[in-house]
A and B are shown apart, each in its own frame.
Chain A
Amino acid sequence: MLLINSFLFCGLICMLSQLILDNTKLTPGHITSILVVIGAFLDTFSIYDRIIEVVGGGALLPITSFGHSLIHGALAQAEKTGVLGILMGMFDLTAAGIVFAIIFSFIFTLIFKPRN
Protein backbone atom coordinates (compact mmCIF):
# COMPACT_ATOMS: atom_id res chain seq x y z
CA MET A 1 0.00 0.00 0.00
CA LEU A 2 2.87 2.39 0.81
CA LEU A 3 4.29 1.68 -2.65
CA ILE A 4 1.09 2.77 -4.43
CA ASN A 5 0.76 5.84 -2.21
CA SER A 6 4.39 6.73 -2.92
CA PHE A 7 3.79 6.44 -6.65
CA LEU A 8 0.65 8.56 -6.54
CA PHE A 9 1.97 11.28 -4.21
CA CYS A 10 5.39 11.76 -5.83
CA GLY A 11 3.84 11.56 -9.29
CA LEU A 12 1.16 14.09 -8.40
CA ILE A 13 3.68 16.65 -7.15
CA CYS A 14 5.83 16.19 -10.26
CA MET A 15 2.78 16.47 -12.52
CA LEU A 16 1.55 19.66 -10.81
CA SER A 17 4.98 21.27 -11.10
CA GLN A 18 5.19 20.22 -14.75
CA LEU A 19 1.81 21.88 -15.36
CA ILE A 20 2.99 25.06 -13.59
CA LEU A 21 6.24 24.98 -15.59
CA ASP A 22 4.43 24.66 -18.92
CA ASN A 23 1.58 27.09 -18.31
CA THR A 24 3.36 29.95 -16.54
CA LYS A 25 6.64 31.80 -16.97
CA LEU A 26 8.12 30.33 -13.78
CA THR A 27 11.43 28.47 -14.13
CA PRO A 28 12.35 25.22 -12.32
CA GLY A 29 14.26 27.38 -9.82
CA HIS A 30 11.09 29.26 -8.90
CA ILE A 31 9.07 26.05 -8.60
CA THR A 32 11.55 24.22 -6.36
CA SER A 33 11.80 27.30 -4.10
CA ILE A 34 8.00 27.54 -3.87
CA LEU A 35 7.75 23.81 -3.09
CA VAL A 36 10.33 24.10 -0.30
CA VAL A 37 8.33 26.94 1.28
CA ILE A 38 5.12 24.89 0.94
CA GLY A 39 6.82 21.91 2.61
CA ALA A 40 7.96 24.08 5.51
CA PHE A 41 4.49 25.60 5.82
CA LEU A 42 2.77 22.20 5.84
CA ASP A 43 4.97 21.02 8.69
CA THR A 44 4.19 24.08 10.82
CA PHE A 45 1.09 22.25 12.03
CA SER A 46 2.51 18.72 11.54
CA ILE A 47 0.48 18.07 8.38
CA TYR A 48 3.52 16.84 6.45
CA ASP A 49 4.36 14.36 9.23
CA ARG A 50 0.97 12.73 8.72
CA ILE A 51 1.51 12.68 4.94
CA ILE A 52 4.82 10.84 5.50
CA GLU A 53 3.09 8.34 7.79
CA VAL A 54 0.53 7.56 5.08
CA VAL A 55 2.75 7.83 1.99
CA GLY A 56 6.16 6.64 3.17
CA GLY A 57 9.21 7.09 0.96
CA GLY A 58 7.32 8.89 -1.80
CA ALA A 59 6.81 11.92 0.45
CA LEU A 60 10.50 12.07 1.41
CA LEU A 61 11.89 12.42 -2.11
CA PRO A 62 10.20 15.55 -3.54
CA ILE A 63 11.94 18.80 -2.61
CA THR A 64 9.01 19.69 -0.30
CA SER A 65 10.55 17.20 2.12
CA PHE A 66 13.65 19.44 2.33
CA GLY A 67 11.59 22.28 3.81
CA HIS A 68 9.81 19.80 6.05
CA SER A 69 13.01 18.34 7.50
CA LEU A 70 14.51 21.80 8.08
CA ILE A 71 11.58 22.88 10.27
CA HIS A 72 11.14 19.41 11.79
CA GLY A 73 14.71 19.33 13.10
CA ALA A 74 14.40 22.94 14.29
CA LEU A 75 11.25 22.23 16.30
CA ALA A 76 12.60 18.98 17.73
CA GLN A 77 15.69 20.80 19.01
CA ALA A 78 13.58 23.74 20.24
CA GLU A 79 11.66 21.32 22.45
CA LYS A 80 14.92 20.40 24.20
CA THR A 81 16.83 23.69 24.42
CA GLY A 82 14.33 26.51 23.98
CA VAL A 83 14.30 29.35 21.44
CA LEU A 84 17.93 28.85 20.37
CA GLY A 85 17.07 25.31 19.35
CA ILE A 86 15.32 26.67 16.25
CA LEU A 87 18.72 27.86 15.01
CA MET A 88 20.75 24.92 16.30
CA GLY A 89 18.57 22.09 15.12
CA MET A 90 17.65 23.33 11.66
CA PHE A 91 20.16 21.14 9.79
CA ASP A 92 19.85 18.07 12.02
CA LEU A 93 17.91 16.02 9.45
CA THR A 94 19.04 17.52 6.14
CA ALA A 95 22.75 17.66 6.97
CA ALA A 96 23.44 14.23 5.47
CA GLY A 97 21.78 15.13 2.18
CA ILE A 98 23.45 18.54 1.79
CA VAL A 99 26.91 17.34 2.85
CA PHE A 100 26.84 14.36 0.50
CA ALA A 101 25.48 16.48 -2.36
CA ILE A 102 28.42 18.88 -1.92
CA ILE A 103 31.02 16.12 -1.52
CA PHE A 104 29.78 14.03 -4.45
CA SER A 105 29.57 17.07 -6.76
CA PHE A 106 33.07 18.14 -5.74
CA ILE A 107 34.63 14.70 -6.25
CA PHE A 108 32.86 14.04 -9.55
CA THR A 109 33.79 17.52 -10.81
CA LEU A 110 37.45 16.80 -10.09
CA ILE A 111 37.29 13.40 -11.81
CA PHE A 112 35.11 14.06 -14.85
CA LYS A 113 35.27 16.71 -17.57
CA PRO A 114 32.24 18.80 -18.60
CA ARG A 115 30.51 17.26 -21.62
CA ASN A 116 29.26 20.25 -23.57
Chain B
Amino acid sequence: MRNTKYERIANEHKADENRIGNAIIAFISGGVIGMLGEIIIEVLLGFGINRTEAIPIMIVIFIFIASLGTALGFFDNLVTKFKCGLLIPITGFAHAMTSSCLDYKNEGPIYGLGSNMFKLTGSVILYGIVSAYIFGTIRYIIGGM
Protein backbone atom coordinates (compact mmCIF):
# COMPACT_ATOMS: atom_id res chain seq x y z
CA MET B 1 0.00 0.00 0.00
CA ARG B 2 2.67 2.41 1.04
CA ASN B 3 4.85 1.38 -1.86
CA THR B 4 2.15 2.00 -4.45
CA LYS B 5 1.38 5.38 -2.94
CA TYR B 6 5.07 6.26 -2.93
CA GLU B 7 5.44 5.16 -6.53
CA ARG B 8 2.47 7.23 -7.57
CA ILE B 9 3.83 10.37 -5.92
CA ALA B 10 7.31 9.73 -7.29
CA ASN B 11 5.95 9.22 -10.79
CA GLU B 12 3.95 12.42 -10.63
CA HIS B 13 6.99 14.47 -9.73
CA LYS B 14 9.22 12.73 -12.25
CA ALA B 15 6.72 13.18 -15.04
CA ASP B 16 6.19 16.88 -14.34
CA GLU B 17 9.71 17.88 -15.33
CA ASN B 18 9.57 15.81 -18.48
CA ARG B 19 6.21 17.21 -19.46
CA ILE B 20 7.38 20.82 -19.42
CA GLY B 21 10.60 19.92 -21.22
CA ASN B 22 8.72 17.91 -23.84
CA ALA B 23 6.27 20.75 -24.40
CA ILE B 24 9.09 23.26 -24.94
CA ILE B 25 10.93 20.87 -27.28
CA ALA B 26 7.70 20.28 -29.24
CA PHE B 27 7.06 24.05 -29.43
CA ILE B 28 10.52 24.84 -30.78
CA SER B 29 10.78 21.91 -33.20
CA GLY B 30 7.24 22.40 -34.48
CA GLY B 31 7.87 26.11 -34.85
CA VAL B 32 11.06 25.50 -36.83
CA ILE B 33 9.16 23.14 -39.16
CA GLY B 34 6.44 25.75 -39.69
CA MET B 35 9.04 28.43 -40.35
CA LEU B 36 10.87 26.19 -42.84
CA GLY B 37 7.56 25.72 -44.66
CA GLU B 38 7.13 29.47 -44.98
CA ILE B 39 10.76 29.88 -46.08
CA ILE B 40 10.29 27.24 -48.82
CA ILE B 41 7.16 29.06 -50.02
CA GLU B 42 9.06 32.38 -50.12
CA VAL B 43 11.91 30.76 -52.10
CA LEU B 44 9.43 29.25 -54.58
CA LEU B 45 7.72 32.64 -54.91
CA GLY B 46 11.15 34.01 -55.81
CA PHE B 47 11.30 31.59 -58.73
CA GLY B 48 8.10 33.11 -60.10
CA ILE B 49 5.74 30.32 -58.97
CA ASN B 50 2.46 31.69 -57.63
CA ARG B 51 1.30 30.93 -54.11
CA THR B 52 -1.45 28.41 -54.94
CA GLU B 53 1.09 26.26 -56.81
CA ALA B 54 3.86 26.76 -54.26
CA ILE B 55 1.79 25.27 -51.39
CA PRO B 56 1.49 21.69 -52.77
CA ILE B 57 5.15 21.75 -53.84
CA MET B 58 6.18 22.71 -50.29
CA ILE B 59 4.04 19.93 -48.81
CA VAL B 60 5.46 17.38 -51.26
CA ILE B 61 9.02 18.43 -50.32
CA PHE B 62 8.27 17.77 -46.63
CA ILE B 63 6.63 14.41 -47.43
CA PHE B 64 9.65 13.42 -49.52
CA ILE B 65 12.12 14.29 -46.75
CA ALA B 66 10.08 12.49 -44.08
CA SER B 67 9.58 9.35 -46.20
CA LEU B 68 13.24 9.17 -47.18
CA GLY B 69 14.34 9.81 -43.60
CA THR B 70 12.08 7.05 -42.29
CA ALA B 71 13.34 4.60 -44.92
CA LEU B 72 16.96 5.45 -44.11
CA GLY B 73 16.26 5.04 -40.39
CA PHE B 74 17.30 8.38 -38.90
CA PHE B 75 13.81 9.89 -38.80
CA ASP B 76 12.70 7.45 -36.08
CA ASN B 77 15.42 8.78 -33.77
CA LEU B 78 14.36 12.35 -34.53
CA VAL B 79 10.72 11.51 -33.71
CA THR B 80 11.67 10.02 -30.33
CA LYS B 81 13.65 13.19 -29.61
CA PHE B 82 11.24 15.87 -30.84
CA LYS B 83 7.96 13.89 -30.49
CA CYS B 84 4.92 15.99 -31.39
CA GLY B 85 7.06 18.62 -33.12
CA LEU B 86 7.49 16.13 -35.96
CA LEU B 87 4.34 14.01 -35.54
CA ILE B 88 1.74 16.75 -35.89
CA PRO B 89 3.02 18.42 -39.09
CA ILE B 90 2.56 16.56 -42.39
CA THR B 91 5.95 14.88 -41.77
CA GLY B 92 4.22 12.67 -39.17
CA PHE B 93 1.70 11.55 -41.79
CA ALA B 94 4.44 10.49 -44.20
CA HIS B 95 6.46 8.94 -41.37
CA ALA B 96 3.52 6.81 -40.20
CA MET B 97 2.77 5.63 -43.72
CA THR B 98 6.36 4.73 -44.62
CA SER B 99 7.07 3.02 -41.31
CA SER B 100 3.97 0.82 -41.53
CA CYS B 101 4.99 -0.05 -45.11
CA LEU B 102 8.49 -1.03 -43.98
CA ASP B 103 7.24 -3.01 -40.98
CA TYR B 104 5.05 -5.30 -43.08
CA LYS B 105 7.30 -5.53 -46.12
CA ASN B 106 8.31 -9.10 -45.27
CA GLU B 107 4.72 -10.35 -45.37
CA GLY B 108 4.52 -9.89 -49.13
CA PRO B 109 3.38 -7.21 -51.55
CA ILE B 110 -0.42 -7.76 -51.21
CA TYR B 111 -1.25 -8.88 -47.68
CA GLY B 112 1.80 -7.24 -46.16
CA LEU B 113 2.58 -3.94 -47.85
CA GLY B 114 -0.74 -3.35 -49.58
CA SER B 115 -3.17 -4.05 -46.78
CA ASN B 116 -1.09 -2.49 -44.00
CA MET B 117 -0.04 0.72 -45.77
CA PHE B 118 -2.92 2.72 -44.23
CA LYS B 119 -2.77 1.02 -40.86
CA LEU B 120 -1.77 4.20 -38.99
CA THR B 121 -2.79 6.95 -41.41
CA GLY B 122 -6.15 5.39 -42.26
CA SER B 123 -7.80 6.95 -39.22
CA VAL B 124 -6.65 10.44 -40.27
CA ILE B 125 -8.05 9.98 -43.78
CA LEU B 126 -11.28 8.39 -42.54
CA TYR B 127 -12.14 11.05 -39.95
CA GLY B 128 -10.96 13.81 -42.28
CA ILE B 129 -13.34 12.69 -45.03
CA VAL B 130 -16.29 11.98 -42.71
CA SER B 131 -15.99 15.31 -40.90
CA ALA B 132 -15.37 17.23 -44.14
CA TYR B 133 -18.49 15.64 -45.65
CA ILE B 134 -20.68 16.43 -42.63
CA PHE B 135 -19.39 19.99 -42.15
CA GLY B 136 -19.43 20.60 -45.90
CA THR B 137 -23.09 19.58 -46.12
CA ILE B 138 -23.96 21.78 -43.14
CA ARG B 139 -22.14 24.73 -44.69
CA TYR B 140 -23.84 24.07 -48.03
CA ILE B 141 -27.29 24.09 -46.43
CA ILE B 142 -26.65 27.13 -44.20
CA GLY B 143 -24.65 29.08 -46.77
CA GLY B 144 -27.28 28.48 -49.45
CA MET B 145 -24.72 28.53 -52.26
Chain A contact residues, CB within 8 Å of chain B: 2-3, 6-15, 17-19, 21-23, 28-29, 31-33, 35-37, 40-41, 43-45, 56-63, 65-67, 70-71, 74-75, 78-79, 83, 86-87, 90, 93, 96-98, 100-102, 104-106, 108-109, 111-115
Contacts and interface: CB of A to CB of B under 8 A. Distances in A.
B34 A7 contact: yes
Mostly, the A contact residues are helix
Interface of B: 15, 18-19, 22-35, 37-42, 55-56, 58-60, 62-64, 67-68, 70-73, 76, 83-85, 87-90, 92-94, 97-98, 101-103, 105-106, 113, 117, 120-121, 123-125, 127-129, 131-133, 135-140, 145
A109 B119 CA distance: 15
B73 to A, nearest CB: 4
B92 A58 contact: no
Nearest first, the 9 closest Cβ-Cβ pairs linking A and B are A10-B34, A14-B30, A11-B31, A58-B34, A57-B38, A18-B26, A57-B37, A108-B71, A70-B132
B63 A104 contact: yes
